[in-house]
Amino acid sequence: MVCVIFLASTAVHFYFYYLMTINTFDAYSRLSSIQINRLVNFLYDHQDQGKLSRNSIRSAIQYAAKERPGFGGYIFCLEEEEKLLGALVINKTGMYDYVPENLLVTIVVHSQIKDTGLEEKLLDYAINYCRGEIGVFINKSNAKEKTLKAHGFEPNYLEMRLKQ
């Protein structure tokens, strides 16, 4: 599935229109190993806080694309003329009620277009595409908290982990 976004910006009273698309990948629309590497590098290089490792990012992408055993998920890529401008990865959990059906692993836009509203458009698209609840884990100091709350996400639980 492809979504087209028009973004107009003004500069010296001229309008420039950018044609952007959101490409959706899942178990049925496979990613090549070259596309996976491109996504891993993009997500790692342009992420804000929390710094997911390259291996964690690769695992989430492979899980979403069902390259690894599991319930799959979705990868949404915001592109302009084949240039990657943003990406969002959602993994399906296979559960519901006490755990959301979907887990938003990461959402990243290119560092040069951070405050253009494209991150919000990408998030809106993913929310409308997915069925069921979407959960996300973020640090308390994460700048994305405000954006997520504006899209209806609510703090629900305090997560605690035992690392062994």
Each residue's pLDDT tens digit, 35-86: 999 999 999 999 986 688 999 999 999 999 999 999 999 999 999 888 999 9
113 belongs to a structural domain: yes
Stretch 102-120: mean pLDDT: 89
Distance CA 80, CA 110 (A): 12
Q: Do 43 and 93 meet the contact criterion of CB atoms below 8 Å apart?
A: no
Q: Do 70 and 102 meet the contact criterion of CB atoms below 8 Å apart?
A: no
Stretch 107-114: mean pLDDT: 88
CB atoms within 10 A of CB 50: 12
Q: Do 52 and 89 meet the contact criterion of CB atoms below 8 Å apart?
A: no
Stretch 81-101: mean pLDDT: 92
Domain count for the chain, please give it: 1
The alpha carbon dihedral of 76, 79, 83, 84 has a sign of negative
The partner residues of 16 in beta bridges, in order of sequence, read 9
Whether the predicted pLDDT of 9 surpasses 50 = no
> Which has the higher per-residue pLDDT, 10 or 102?
102
156 belongs to a structural domain: no
11 belongs to a structural domain: no
**CATH code of the domain containing 82:** 3.40.630.30
The alpha carbon dihedral of 6, 110, 85, 29 has a sign of negative
**pLDDT of the residue at 49:** 67
Whether the predicted pLDDT of 8 surpasses 70 = no
3 belongs to a structural domain: no
